[in-house]
Chain A
Amino acid sequence: MRPLFAESEPSGAAPLPRATQIESRLTDQELVTRLLEGDRWAKEALFRRYVSSVWSLAMRLVGSRADADDIVQDTFVEALRDVTALRSLQALRPWLLRIAVHQAQRRFRRRNLLRRLGFGAADDDPSLAALIDPAASPELCAELSCVDRALQSVSVAERFTWILRHVEGHTLEEVAVLSDCSLATAKRRLQRVNGFVLSALGHEDAR
Chain B
Amino acid sequence: MSSRHTAPGVVARALREPERAPLATVLDTELPEASVPEIWHRIDARLSFKEGVRARRAPILWLVAASFLLLLLTRSWLHRAPVAAGLALEGGAAPTVLRADTLAGTFAFTDGSHLEVAPRTELRVVKNDAHTLVTALARGRTTFDVRPGGPRRWLVEAGPAVVEVVGTRFTVGRDDGTVRVEVERGIVLVRSETLAGGSVRLTAGQSVLVTKNAVSTPRAPAPSIAEPVARSNTAPPAASNAAPIALSALPALPATSPSPAEANAAVRDVPDAVDRALATADAARRRGDSTEAAQALEGALTAARPNDKRRGLAALSLARLVVRNDPARAARVLRDAFGAMPADLLEDALARRVEAEGRSGRRDEAARLAEEYTRRFPAGQRSSEVKRWSGE
Contact = CB atoms under 8 A, between A and B. Distances in A.
Interface of A: 17, 43-44, 47-48, 51-52, 55-56, 59-60, 69, 72-73, 76-77, 80-81, 128, 131-134, 136-137, 139-140, 143-144, 146-147, 165-171, 194, 197-198, 201-205
B43 A80 contact: yes
Contacts of A76: 43
B39 A77 contact: no
Contacts of A55: 29, 31, 39
Contacts of B28: 131-134
B10 A166 contact: no
A52 B30 contact: yes
B391 interface: no
B9 A204 contact: no
B379 to A, nearest CB: 56
A203 B3 contact: yes
Interface residues of B, number: 38
Contact of B27 (A51, A128, A202, A203): A128
A146 B22 CA distance: 17
Given A44-B40, A77-B46, A169-B19, A140 B9 contact: yes
B1 A143 contact: no
Interface string B3-38: 111011111101100111111101111110101110
A72 B18 CA distance: 25
Interface in B137-160: none
A184 B7 CA distance: 27
Contacts of A170: 19
B64 interface: no
Contacts of A132: 26-28
B44 to A, nearest CB: 7
Contacts of B56: none
A203 to B, nearest CB: 5
